[in-house]
Amino acid sequence: MDNTMAYSLADFNYNDNPDVLSPPADFEKWLSHPGVQAAFSLFEQPLMSAPVIRTEVINNFDHKRRKVINLTSYNYLGLCTHPEVIAAAKAALDKYGLGASGAALLSGTFDLHIELASKLAAFKEKEACVLFSGGLAANMGAIQGLLRKGDVFIMDEKCHKSLIDGGTLAQARMLFFAHNDMDSLVMMLEKNKGVRTMVAVEGVYSMDGDLPKLKETVEICEHYHAAIYLDEAHSTFMFGKNGRGIGEHFGVEDRIGIVFGTLSKVLGGVGGFVCSKASTIRYLKCYSSPFQFSCALPPAIVAGVLKALEIATRDSTLRDKLWENVAYFRKQLLDMDLNLGDSASQVIPIIIGSSGEKLLSMALEIQKRGLFLQPVDFPAVPANARRFRLSVSSALTKQDIDEACNIIHDVIAVGLKN
Amino acid sequence: MDIAQNKARIVEVIKENIVKNIDGVNKADIDIEKSMKDYGANSLDIIEVVSCSMRELNLKVPRSELTDIKNIAELADKFVQYLN
């Protein structure tokens, strides 16, 4: 029996090909399988216009250009095409040109960068903020800047690869506690008493959409004198009465030592930021490769993000609309008996089970019907919980949601019953 | 070799890789009814032990089939199925 489809990207990391530039021989063979090619066709499909709700995509599997309802882009508050954001970016393009032409440390810092860092720090109620040119770079750079060889870095097992990469770069000893399991966290802290320790959790887990047990985590970490790193990539600007994020939502933001967020989701641009005490940020900058040796954010992006920050936080209108859409979407999906896991956010998984073949055939069909909803397969998620992952946006209309749900019903709900 | 001999050989290889990749573990003390996590392995350590073991044994089990493996003995049983 051909079990080619049982293999995944988790199986081809090791490479003993004597030519370093060549992939492993069995990887090429695996790639040539029609089923694997069909799965790969879902990667790098080009969007032909902005990542808004109604956009156009060229599907790789048949090379057709389709008008789609977009439930995959992270444009959570619809700000990446907001007219004020575009106007701010255009004005900055005219004034500053295209790129920063240098790393932030030496020549790439502009007045706009200082303004954005200062406003982000003020918003997050921390003393200082450092900007990075990418979200992944920010996590890696922050961990590299602070942890040293022999330090203990304890993460929730569902933490993002960027945190793991940061731990690897810092040569920290990494431990992963069972997801949201406080006993598991306590056991690891107990075993490493007396060692410099940082604990990382996420505001919204990116594949499950669930929240951390943040209050309990904070109390435990304070008891063990462990620092807390809160990754708010998918939660900042959306949660909390004032949109300050999950820390505010749980009433513990002043007890979180260091917080991370991105500029690429709600704020519609690209990049990442880290906020903490001024002394922490000053020191971190000195030992962070992505800060010191990577070109700074383009000024036009920074200008657009500054405007997006202002719009996202001027009042709760956009957040309220987002949560209204989340509630409406969830109700319809639950009425179809779909498994949404423990999602409590704008990230909603539709868990279909352990069949990679079923996931793939549904994924292709869904996109043929004009819904840009990407599947998430093993190893990004557990093999027995493969899924689709919806990103709800405040920009969705009721009609968008109804149309999307019709397609989801016809392809996924019906498909799962058969 | 029969299945029992194969399993014994596989267990030896896995134990040797555990000792190489996880600090403070004596080969003689490894109980195969336990999981590598019980010996302090994180998920990255486990991936390394499994990868090295599969290479030495010249077999390739899809990682997706290792999700429900609970301990070292079950890992060895899975490897036996895939032994050429």
Distance from CA of A393 to the nearest CA of B (A): 32
Across residues A353-368, what is the average pLDDT?
A: 97
CATH number for the domain spanning A209: value is 3.40.640.10
What is this model's ipTM? Answer: 0.91
Note whether residue A177 is domain-resident. Answer: yes
Note whether residue A237 is domain-resident. Answer: yes
Phi and psi of A57, rounded to 5°?
Answer: -130, 145
CB–CB contact B42 A176 (8 Å): yes
Distance from CA of B63 to the nearest CA of A (A): 6
Q: Does residue A293 sit in helix, strand or coil? A: coil
Note whether residue A13 is domain-resident. Answer: no
pLDDT digits (tens, 9 = 90+) for A254-286: 999 999 999 999 999 999 999 999 999 999 999
Q: Among partner residues A8, A157, A175, which is closest to B63 by beta-carbon distance?
A: A8
Distance from CA of A190 to the nearest CA of B (A): 13
CB–CB contact A378 B64 (8 Å): yes
pLDDT at A113 over 60: yes
Quote the number of domains for chain A.
2
Q: What is the mean pLDDT of chain A?
A: 97
From A270, A293, A314, the end of a domain falls on A314
Note whether residue A28 is domain-resident. Answer: no
CB–CB contact A384 B68 (8 Å): yes
The question of whether A265 is a catalytic residue gets the answer: yes
Q: Within this chain, do residues A279 and A373 fall inside the same structural domain, yes or no? A: no
B44 contacts on A by Cβ (under 8 Å)? 164, 174
From A265, A286, A314, the end of a domain falls on A314
Q: Within this chain, do residues A125 and A162 fall inside the same structural domain, yes or no? A: yes
CA distance A366 to A412: 8
Contact between residue A333 and residue A416 where contact means Cβ atoms under 8 Å apart: no
Task: Determine what percent of chain A is predicted with pLDDT higher than 70.
Answer: 100
Chains A, B: CB pairs < 8 Å: 40
CATH number for the domain spanning A399: value is 3.90.1150.10
Q: Within this chain, do residues A325 and A348 fall inside the same structural domain, yes or no? A: yes
Dihedral sign of CA atoms A92, A93, A95, A97 in order: positive
Across residues A106-115, what is the average pLDDT?
A: 97
Q: Which domains does chain B have, with CATH numbers?
A: 3-82 (1.10.1200.10)
Q: Within this chain, do residues A91 and A51 fall inside the same structural domain, yes or no? A: no
B67 → chain A, closest CA residue: A383
CA distance A265 to A258: 20
The answer, for B67 touching chain A at a CB cutoff of 8 Å, is: yes
Residue spans of beta strands (DSSP E) within A61-103: 64-70
Cβ count within 10 A of residue A215: 12
Task: Determine what percent of chain B is predicted with pLDDT higher than 90.
Answer: 80
pLDDT at A1 over 60: no
Name the band, by pLDDT with cuts 50, 70 and 90, for residue B84: low
Q: Within this chain, do residues A56 and A87 fall inside the same structural domain, yes or no? A: no
Dihedral sign of CA atoms A316, A322, A325, A330 in order: negative
A4 → chain B, closest CA residue: B62
Q: Within this chain, do residues A308 and A179 fall inside the same structural domain, yes or no? A: yes
B62 contacts on A by Cβ (under 8 Å)? 3, 6-8, 11
Q: Among partner residues A6, A176, A378, which is closest to B43 by beta-carbon distance?
A: A176
Q: Among partner residues A157, A356, A379, which is closest to B63 by beta-carbon distance?
A: A379
Name the band, by pLDDT with cuts 50, 70 and 90, for residue B3: confident
Query: Could you give the C-alpha distances from A369 to A5, A23, A42, A280, in angstroms and in order?
Result: 25, 35, 14, 50
* A213-217, A294-298, B68-72: least confident range: B68-72
For chain B, how far is it from start to end, CA to CA, in angstroms? 11
Distance from CA of A2 to the nearest CA of B (A): 12
Give the residue from B30, B1, B33 showing the smallest Cα distance to B13.
Answer: B30
Note whether residue A375 is domain-resident. Answer: yes
B64 contacts on A by Cβ (under 8 Å)? 6-8, 10, 356, 378-379, 383
Give the residue from B51, B63, B54 showing the smallest Cα distance to B84.
Answer: B54
Q: What angle do CA A101, A104, A110 make, to 5 degrees?
A: 75
The question of whether A394 is a catalytic residue gets the answer: no
Dihedral sign of CA atoms A93, A98, A100, A101 in order: negative
B49 contacts on A by Cβ (under 8 Å)? none
Dihedral sign of CA atoms A271, A388, A56, A311 in order: negative
Q: Among partner residues A6, A7, A174, which is closest to B44 by beta-carbon distance?
A: A174
pLDDT digits (tens, 9 = 90+) for A195-250: 999 999 999 999 999 999 999 999 999 999 999 999 999 999 999 999 999 999 99
Note whether residue A189 is domain-resident. Answer: yes
Among the listed residues A206, A345, A391, A393, the single catalytic one is A206
Q: Within this chain, do residues A228 and A329 fall inside the same structural domain, yes or no? A: no
Among the listed residues A234, A249, A285, A307, the single catalytic one is A234
Interface of B with A in 15-54 (CB under 8 A): 40, 42-44, 51
CA distance A271 to A269: 7
Q: Among partner residues B40, B55, B67, which is closest to A14 by beta-carbon distance?
A: B55
Residue span of the structural domain in which A335 resides:
42-71+317-417
Q: Within this chain, do residues A350 and A383 fall inside the same structural domain, yes or no? A: yes
From A289, A314, A339, the end of a domain falls on A314
Q: Within this chain, do residues A207 and A184 fall inside the same structural domain, yes or no? A: yes
The question of whether A391 is a catalytic residue gets the answer: no
CA distance A14 to A16: 7
Q: Are strands A227-231 and A64-70 parallel, antiparallel or unpaired?
A: unpaired
Q: How many helices (H) does chain A have, and how many strands (E)?
A: 16, 13
The answer, for A11 touching chain B at a CB cutoff of 8 Å, is: yes
Give the residue from A294, A287, A282 showing the smallest Cα distance to A148.
Answer: A287
Distance from CA of A177 to the nearest CA of B (A): 9
Among the listed residues A265, A276, A285, A391, the single catalytic one is A265
A66 strand-pairing partners: A57
Q: Within this chain, do residues A118 and A254 fall inside the same structural domain, yes or no? A: yes
Note whether residue A361 is domain-resident. Answer: yes
Cβ count within 10 A of residue B2: 7
Note whether residue A268 is domain-resident. Answer: yes
Q: Within this chain, do residues A169 and A117 fall inside the same structural domain, yes or no? A: yes
Q: Within this chain, do residues A340 and A230 fall inside the same structural domain, yes or no? A: no
